[in-house]
Structure 1
Amino acid sequence: MTTKGEAFAGLSVALTTPLKNGEVDYEVFGEQIEFQLAAGTNCLCPVGTTGESPTLSHEVHEQVIAFVVEKAAGRAKVMPGTGSNSTAEALRLTKFAEKVGADAALQVAPYYNKPTQKGFYEHFKVLAEETGIPQCIYNIPGRTAKNIEPDTIVRLAELENIALVKEATGSLDQASQVIAATNLTVLSGDDSLTLPLMAVGARGVVSVVGNLVPGDMLQLVAAANAGDYEKARQWHYKLFGLCRDMLGLATNPIPVKSAMQMLGRDSGEMLLPMTPLEESEMASLRQTLVGYGLL
């Protein structure tokens, strides 16, 4: 069955935002984008949680979206994070992304204010009906404090511009319900669950470790999409240690930015309240990267 967001199947990478003295380092950012394009990444996802959207100003948020769209220049899809716990703010950011040429918008579930299921529906309905680009519902209750229930997503799937779900509930049952009942393209929102989710019908991943090893994650996704689960399992287990031992060290994006610093691809700088890893954690991270063959 062809899904509504089929053009976004494959590997999307949740880009980090490189910083220098508290400002976006656009030179390094351009290098990171070229690295992804050279690897064959299907879609770039700037200014999500991995891109430190909660601590970037609205002005910088917009500047980053425009920069990534311009640098990608049609060589990959661009699906920036434009979500908010304010529907009006999410709509403003999404309209801006559409205006500068983004291909879709990644909409995190409204967080902290914990809407009812009706509130979720009305929030995403406004974004779908008042903009002209596909919307990806990002369901991550571990961060937002509230789950978008499968029945709500099934209702939302009836709206033309609701096309994708970034599935980060950790529940294979929930993902299965959504995939069985809708024609939405479901993407894994957890690197380590990419293969299990693809086994039940997800079509790819919005990846954090893809900042480091996009080629390896592409191999996993391609093998799973081809039905070669023996090869997909090999890539799953190769990547699993990196996902577990790196991303489990601290809150995202602290570990991945630290890893990119070790690899000479980022300053490692973050905006408060994100803080660097402790020395013992850095030592553990270095060991993980050495074990993977990155150092």
Structure 2
Amino acid sequence: MTTTTATPAPPFGRALCAMITPFTASGELDLDGAQRLADRLVTEGCDGLVLSGTTGESPTTTDAEKSALVRAVREAVGESVPIVAGVGTADTRHTVELALAAGKAGADGVLVVTPYYSRPPQDAVEEHFRTVADASGLPVMLYDIPGRTGTRIEPETMLRLAAHPGIAAVKDCSYDFLGTQKVLARTELAYYAGCEEHILPLYAVGGTGYVSTVANLVPRRLRSILDAFDAGDTARAARLQQQATELVESTMSAGLPGTVTVKALLNTLSQPAGPVRPPLLPATHETTAELRAAYKRLRAG
């Protein structure tokens, strides 16, 4: 087995937020709110932003809304902040169309999820990603989240895809730490933790950083984990990771999608968020109160 000792430069930065998509009270796209939120996230430590991912409610936003969101956020944060646009669908042709549109709107890269519902075999999964990478002209971040799509990007498939010059990164929600380390050891793919509990563990074994839903709430807190590790203070990095556990669990493991919990909490903080779109339903008052309490405890710690 060959290994690589090179640490690839972060293609989109280290600390990325999987940004929510703000809506107005009537459920329309809130571009002004998106610009204000994006500006706050960057000011408070996010290197880059991922738009129209799972957290951004991509299944219920239109193609035109996705492009408008990229243009608005680009205007807000300037040219120096990487923007990765979620373009993954269950249809390869549609995914290519969205990737091309994202590039025209000003995105720096595209996030492409494994095709869902049809559950393609690995050779078809590989061909899907290659087709999008060939067509888009933008660096591709593969999104491995079998809990939602029903299909893994198996490590052997990932190893083959790593040879494609247009495939630069992975958002890892596989919950297969061994498989992830296998790919890290043999490729220069930039691996981003897609699950907040893996921010420090993945970074410590050669990961690039994270793409975080919880970063909508506490961007500076999560970035401090990486900063402490980079400074050589691994004990502090571990402590900061542990301190975030309660809010991470309340937000991501409470039986509700992270979009629902994050928007509920942001609304109580008078931050741009608004409602979720159906079929999602808003969090209850009880859940929102619990989230607010966990948030306050973390901020006070």
Q: TM-score, normalised by structure 2?
A: 0.93
1:258 to 261, 264, 268: 264
2:198 to 193, 200, 212: 193
Partner secondary structure for residue 7 of structure 1: coil
2:286 to 280, 283, 287: 280
Equivalent-residue separation in structure 2 for 1:293 and 1:53 (angstroms): 30
How far the C-alpha of 1:2 sits from its partner, in A, is 4.4
| AA in 2 matched with 1:132 | G
Equivalent-residue separation in structure 2 for 1:53 and 1:89 (angstroms): 13
Equivalent-residue separation in structure 1 for 2:121 and 2:229 (angstroms): 36
Q: RMSD of the TM alignment (CA)?
A: 1.5
Q: TM-score, normalised by structure 1?
A: 0.95
Deviations 1:175-212 (A, max 9, x none): 11110121100000001111111121111000111111
Which residue pairs with 2:12 in the alignment? 8
Which residue pairs with 1:290 in the alignment? 296
Identity of aligned residues (%): 32
Equivalent-residue separation in structure 2 for 1:5 and 1:110 (angstroms): 28
Q: Tell me if the contact between 1:72 and 1:78 (Cα under 8 Å) persists in the aligned partners.
A: no
1:63 equivalenced with 2:68 (yes/no): yes
Q: Which runs of 5+ in 1 are unaligned?
A: none
Q: Which runs of 5+ in 2 are unaligned?
A: none
Distance 1:5 1:117, change over 3 A: farther
1:107 equivalenced with 2:112 (yes/no): yes
Deviations 1:151-197 (A, max 9, x none): 00100011001000101011211111110121100000001111111
Distance 1:2 1:36, change over 3 A: farther
Which residue pairs with 2:277 in the alignment? 271
Which residue pairs with 2:85 in the alignment? 80
1:19 equivalenced with 2:60 (yes/no): no
Q: Tell me if the contact between 2:138 and 2:166 (Cα under 8 Å) persists in the aligned partners.
A: yes
| AA in 2 matched with 1:17 | T
1:214 to 216, 219, 230: 219
Out of 217-226 and 53-62, give the one that drifted further: 217-226
Equivalent-residue separation in structure 1 for 2:13 and 2:181 (angstroms): 17
Could you list the structure 1 runs, at least 4 aligned residues long, displaced by more than 6 angstroms after superposition. Answer: none
Deviations 1:26-61 (A, max 9, x none): 221111011012123111111111010011112212
Q: Tell me if the contact between 2:16 and 2:49 (Cα under 8 Å) persists in the aligned partners.
A: yes
Equivalent-residue separation in structure 2 for 1:200 and 1:140 (angstroms): 20
